[in-house]
Amino acid sequence: MKFLDLAKVYIRSGAGGGGAVSFHREKFVEYGGPDGGDGGRGGDVVVQCVDGLNTLIDFRYQQHFFAKNGVPGMGKQRTGADGDDIVLRVPVGTEVLDEDQKTVIADMTAVGQRVILAKGGNGGFGNLHFKSSTNQAPRRANPGQEAVERTLWLRLKLIADAGLLGLPNAGKSTFLAATSNARPKIADYPFTTLHPNLGVVGIDNAEYVVADIPGLIEGASAGRGIGDRFLGHVERCAVLLHLIDGTSDTVVEDYKTIIGELEAYGGELAAKDRVTVLNKIDALDDEERADLKADLEKAVGGRVMLMSGVSREGLDAVLRKVRAEIEADRARERAAGAEEEPWRP
């Protein structure tokens, strides 16, 4: 299945059915009176979060979603049928954006969540509705309410506990393949990974989800390379795992490049907790490891871990560190949620 994380859709709710102007006609009934029924209500356009989807590829082949109109009212006090709703089924983590691609209309984060994007029009009143003591034979009826048309964007942000960051060929896909059941493409050339991959990582009888996104290069925030469009997939992560190629001649510069792109991307991404790891240490001797770690820790201003995805050296320690950061983030969320709950006597 192809991966698609951004799609444009055109939606229209159903218009309400018009009310009817009708009078009761029956043999031996001299004053039948008005009996025009109301129009039916138009259908809604609804977005629903479903399980089993991880891409928006279905919206590449169908972009227009129109709900059914309500049926007009009829004589003999018959109300028109309501129009059928139409449902857009999206994966967990999908954001619904307005046409400007900035205004968030809905954030679909839980299976079963439903949001009405365009409400169907109400049906019009028939002339029976306007009968009164002073107006025994009204000859007016209301038209149905008009439909609502909108142009929207769907943007998928994968929900993962940890996100992998690094330059192309930093070893992110190798790490994911070594620690999970994911099988991303691995090669010795840049931009092997062209779309995000998810893997379930297990350590000490606990599991968490890791997202691997295509590598960033300098200038990604300005559109160079694949650009920064995939950074949205790690916005929801509790911690970022920053892998740095230990065989590079510019280890410190590589680190600063990624941090610069995070800051240029904006939002809270640059402020997220990070675990910085010097990768591919299987190709380094002890002296090289010590020197590179010291230089990198000076630039980071904190701890740098050593690891090799190929030989699995230091792998478990990194996984435990990431798990600890995830659990700490969840604890902070629980504490914040408890503070927001209203006090009850």
End-to-end CA distance of the chain: 54
Per-residue pLDDT tens for 300-314?
Answer: 888 899 998 888 898
Pairwise CA distance, residues 156 & 196, whole Å: 11
Residue 135 vs residue 220, higher pLDDT = 135
1 vs 86, more confident: 86
Binding-site residue numbers are 166-173, 191-195, 212-215, 279-282, 308-310
Tens-digit pLDDT profile for residues 23-52: 998 888 888 889 999 999 999 999 999 988
User: Under CATH, domain 1-156 is a member of which superfamily?
Assistant: GTP1/OBG domain (2.70.210.12)
Of 15-24, 187-196, 200-209, 263-272, highest mean pLDDT: 15-24
Q: State if pTM tops 0.85.
A: no
Instruction: Please choose, from the candidates 132, 20, 134, the residue with its C-alpha nearest in 3D space to the C-alpha of residue 77.
Output: 20
Q: What's the mean pLDDT in 229-241?
A: 80
Q: What are phi and psi of 248, to 5 degrees?
A: -75, 150
Q: What is the pLDDT of residue 196?
A: 75
* Fold: same for 1-156 and 162-340: no
Question: Which residues carry a binding-site annotation for Mg(2+)?
Answer: 173, 193
Q: Which residues are documented as binding site for GTP? A: 166-173, 191-195, 212-215, 279-282, 308-310
Residue for token pair 């107006």: 135
Domain boundaries, the chain: 1-156, 162-340
Task: Give the CATH number of domain 162-340.
Answer: 3.40.50.300
Average pLDDT, the chain: 86
pLDDT of 1 above 50: no
Q: For position 182, what pLDDT does the model report?
A: 62
Q: What is the pLDDT of residues 190-213, one digit of tens each?
A: 555 666 777 888 888 888 888 887
Tokens at residue 34, please?
């008005």
**Could you give phi then psi for residue 190, rounded to 5 degrees?**
-65, 155
Contact (CB, 8 A) for 33 and 23: yes
Q: Is the pLDDT of residue 260 over 50?
A: yes
Q: Give mean pLDDT, residues 59-76.
A: 94
**Contact present, 75 and 22 (Cβ < 8 Å):** yes
